[in-house]
Amino acid sequence: MPHYLAIIEDAGPDETASLWFPDLPGCISGGDDVDEALENAPEALAFYAQELAEDGRQLPPPRTLDELKADPDVAGDLAKHTVALIEWPPLADPAE
């Protein structure tokens, strides 16, 4: 399954956290903390994919970490922030 790299921007212990996907311009997730932003990330991806589908487009394939490091528009953010891999499509919830 593909994984999209997310760049996590943590504002600190008393503020919210957000993350964004370099391969998906405008696709962001947020939460009261990093864990919540990560938990909300698959839903953000789903909404983004739905919007693209409504326009007759598909999600672009995710780039590898090495490819993103070679991109000057992303390399600086990779060096300054924590990154996470978000699986897409997400695995079904085993409780369902």
pLDDT of residue 96: 47
Give the amino acid at 23. D
The pLDDT value given to residue 88: 84
* 70: number of Cβ within 10 Å: 11
Q: Are 20 and 10 in contact (CB under 8 A)?
A: no
Determine the Cα–Cα distance for residues 3 and 81; give it in Å rounded to an integer: 18
Report, at the CATH architecture level, how domain 3-87 is classified: 2-Layer Sandwich (3.30)
Q: Give the mean pLDDT of 19-29.
A: 96
Q: Is the pLDDT of residue 53 over 90?
A: yes
60: Cα within 13 Å, side-chain hemisphere: 10
Which phi-psi region, left, alpha or beta, contains residue 33 (left: φ > 0; alpha: ψ -120 to 50)?
beta
Task: Provide φ and ψ at 9, rounded to 5°.
Answer: -115, 105
Q: What is the biggest distance separating any 2 CA atoms in the chain, rounded to whole angstroms?
A: 42
Question: Could you tell me which residue, 95 or 36, shows the higher pLDDT?
Answer: 36
Residue 91 — very low, low, confident or very high, per pLDDT cuts 50/70/90? Answer: low
